[in-house]
A and B are shown apart, each in its own frame.
Chain A
Amino acid sequence: MTSLSRDDVAKLAGLARIEMSEEELVALSSEFTVILDAVARVQEVASADVAATSHPLPLRNVFRPDVVVPSLSPADALSGAPAQEEQRFRVPQILGEE
């Protein structure tokens, strides 16, 4: 039986950039024990000789002619921005002060 501890869930939530309350961490940890047991069934038939399928279509690279076409105006591109400044997205600080 696979299980995920409260700390495992907290680590995953950090990787996924989701703040979680203590109540959520504990609840998810207990739910995952049940869910992981159910999904682990895939291992019963996934033997080494079976090829993996990542996509239903056998596509390789798909190219189009390199032709300039109209694109969004700056105003349209910024229309949903939570904050903007000088025709740019204004975002919180990414790097430290130094």
Chain B
Amino acid sequence: MIRNSASDMASKLAAGEITSVELTQAHLDRISDVDKEVHAFLHVDTQGALAQAAAVDAKRKNGEKLAPLAGVPLALKDVMAQKGIPTTCGSKILEGWRPPYDSTVVTNLKNNGIIILGKTNMDEFAMGSSTENSAYGPTHNPWDLTRIPGGSGGGSSAALAAFEAPLAIGTDTGGSIRQPAAVTGTVGVKPTYGGVSRFGLVAFSSSLDQAGPCARTVLDAALLHEAIAGHDPKDSTSINAPVPAVVHAARAGNVKGMKIGVVKELNGDGYQPGVRKRFEESLELLAAAGAEIVEVSAPNFEYALAAYYLIAPSECSSNLARFDAMRYGLRVGDVDGASAESVMNLTREVGFGREVKRRIILGTYALSSGYYDAYYGSAQKVRTLITQDFNKAFEIADVLVSPTCPTTAFKIGEKANDPLAMYLNDIATIPVNMAGIGGMSLPSGLADEDGLPVGFQIMSPVMKDERMYSVGSALEAALLSKWGAPLLSKIPVLAGSK
């Protein structure tokens, strides 16, 4: 039952074949069985999840009209505020904090009757590509427990691949939904910036952060996308327009006549051979399904990584100033006579991990008088050039595609002491955030050389998110008929407690 898609689970719930309490309990059992190995969860809300499930079952019994995913369980990235539930962002500075309010994403999940199982592990404040920067220890990739599950949303992607939850929420600032999806053989979508409310999403880089759906199938991601998206008066950057028809697009999966642009600069040198091979095969399948494959060039993408590592740290140095030990979270050194400044200094020393400090200092430098124009100012200009590259490319093609990541999952510890090597993971995902467009990663197979999952990235113009679902669904169907079973059917069996 736990290996089904969320839409199959929803059908069985609607048909009365199972109850939400049974389904939720099955996932809670799975978590207690395998999460010692995977460490996807930081907090499991057993009582709350079962109570939510019982409430949905009661409504169904009463014949009330329910949302499509009502009763289906979900794993929530620990960057989302949920009232009364610990929300740490993978950081010691928020250890024990229980938000007094729900984020809009959580409100939408609850209104849709989606059951929140618990909070998933992440790189501290979403800064990282491996989940190794969590203050609570790394998450392990269920394909190979010695490898990273991606990051920052490695807990969410690992929970899906380990069948601990059929749905999850991620947030994507430079690839934190798509890269974890790629390296775990799951589906992850970064909607258009402003498509999903950021209210209650603990801010890292406000002009780049975007919450989105994580799932095991494209249709499941679409169903979750529609459940969480839409205008929110509580977020001034939320787009006031109808949600793109992503479920319709995912169900149709039609690419006939679509022009798919291969981004020349996001392939080639630095991309693992097995990644490139699966990418080329996917292009052939899309062509066979009726799409026209064209090549596009985005010459400024090579500067995206550099610009990102100025813009994101700059915004984070400002956003994370709120963790000042005064109103919530950790407070250290509050002895008689200690000044507020010394308490802040000591609290932030102990509360923040190495990567967070590195980025705050880098951002403080990039924004400082005398260096602002050379660093932050120049990075903002690169952002314009990247957006122009996208605009030109979308004149030629309906969607753009690339491998999601240059490589498959690396070993835990392999890049922990080399920040630049770690940053390179996001080279193909970052341009999407810079322009605020939509991006999806779905599995395109296993690399021949290491047998690990490879991700295929689809990028769509602003508020044309349905296009990536059309292409993703068509490719998923073509790959499924080629393989005969979903990619995750090949994942090694976790030992569990039995």
Q: Is B one of A's binding partners?
A: yes
Q: A residues within 8 Å of B by Cβ?
A: 4, 8-9, 12-13, 15-20, 24, 28, 31-32, 34-35, 38-47, 50-57, 59, 62, 64, 72, 76-77, 79-83, 89, 91-94
Q: How far is the CA of A16 from the CA of B358 in the complex (A)?
A: 11
Using known A-B contacts A13-B361, A38-B306, A42-B381, determine if residue A82 contacts B349 with beta carbons closer than 8 Å: no
Write the nearest CB–CB distance from A42 to chain B, whole angstroms.
4
Q: How far is the CA of A89 from the CA of B334 in the complex (A)?
A: 13
Contact A82 B317 (CB under 8 A): no
Other-chain contact of B306, A34, A41, A51, A91 (Cβ < 8 Å): A41
Write the nearest CB–CB distance from B156 to chain A, whole angstroms.
23
Q: Hey, what's the 0/1 contact readout for B310-335 against A, CB within 8 Å counting as 1?
A: 10000001000100111111110010
Q: B residues within 8 Å of A by Cβ?
A: 97-101, 193-194, 207, 233, 236-237, 239, 300, 303, 305-307, 309-310, 317, 321, 324-331, 334, 337-346, 348-349, 352, 354, 357-358, 360-362, 364-366, 368, 374-375, 377-385, 387, 419-420, 423, 434-436, 462
Q: How far is the CA of A48 from the CA of B481 in the complex (A)?
A: 53
Using known A-B contacts A19-B349, A59-B236, determine if residue A46 contacts B382 with beta carbons closer than 8 Å: yes
Chain B residues lying within 8 Å of A40, measured Cβ to Cβ, are: 306, 374-375
Known: A18-B349, A46-B377, A64-B233. 4 other contacts (CB 8 A): A38-B423, A80-B99, A83-B334, A94-B339
Q: How far is the CA of A12 from the CA of B375 in the complex (A)?
A: 15
Chain B residues lying within 8 Å of A83, measured Cβ to Cβ, are: 331, 334
A/B interface sample: 9 pairs, CB < 8 A: A12-B368, A28-B358, A42-B303, A52-B377, A52-B383, A52-B384, A54-B383, A57-B193, A72-B101
Q: How far is the CA of A87 from the CA of B194 in the complex (A)?
A: 36
Using known A-B contacts A16-B361, A28-B361, determine if residue A42 contacts B100 with beta carbons closer than 8 Å: no
Nearest residue (CB) in A for B235 is A62
Chain A residues lying within 8 Å of B364, measured Cβ to Cβ, are: 12, 15-16
Using known A-B contacts A46-B382, A80-B97, determine if residue A19 contacts B345 with beta carbons closer than 8 Å: yes
Contact B346 A82 (CB under 8 A): no
Contact B435 A81 (CB under 8 A): no
Contact B361 A35 (CB under 8 A): no
Contact B100 A51 (CB under 8 A): no
Write the nearest CB–CB distance from A82 to chain B, whole angstroms.
4
Q: How far is the CA of A62 from the CA of B233 in the complex (A)?
A: 9
Q: How far is the CA of A94 from the CA of B338 in the complex (A)?
A: 9
Nearest residue (CB) in A for B311 is A54
Chain A residues lying within 8 Å of B338, measured Cβ to Cβ, are: 92-93
Nearest residue (CB) in A for B94 is A80
Q: How far is the CA of A89 from the CA of B326 in the complex (A)?
A: 7
Chain A residues lying within 8 Å of B344, measured Cβ to Cβ, are: 17
Contact B360 A82 (CB under 8 A): no
Write the nearest CB–CB distance from A22 to chain B, whole angstroms.
13
Nearest residue (CB) in A for B208 is A56
Q: Interface centre among A20, A32, A39, A62, by most B CB within 10 Å?
A: A39
For the complex of A and B, 8 pairs with smallest distance between CB atoms: A56-B436, A80-B328, A46-B378, A82-B331, A52-B380, A76-B100, A19-B349, A62-B236
Q: Interface centre among B97, B341, B383, by most A CB within 10 Å?
A: B383
Write the nearest CB–CB distance from B193 to chain A, whole angstroms.
5
Write the nearest CB–CB distance from B266 to chain A, whole angstroms.
17
Chain B residues lying within 8 Å of A15, measured Cβ to Cβ, are: 364, 368
Q: How far is the CA of A46 from the CA of B330 in the complex (A)?
A: 41
Nearest residue (CB) in A for B207 is A55
Write the nearest CB–CB distance from A35 to chain B, whole angstroms.
6
Other-chain contact of B381, A8, A51, A72 (Cβ < 8 Å): A51
Q: How far is the CA of A17 from the CA of B323 in the complex (A)?
A: 10
Q: How far is the CA of A38 from the CA of B328 in the complex (A)?
A: 36
Chain A residues lying within 8 Å of B360, measured Cβ to Cβ, are: 16, 18
Nearest residue (CB) in B for A59 is B237
Q: Interface centre among B307, B338, B346, by most A CB within 10 Å?
A: B307
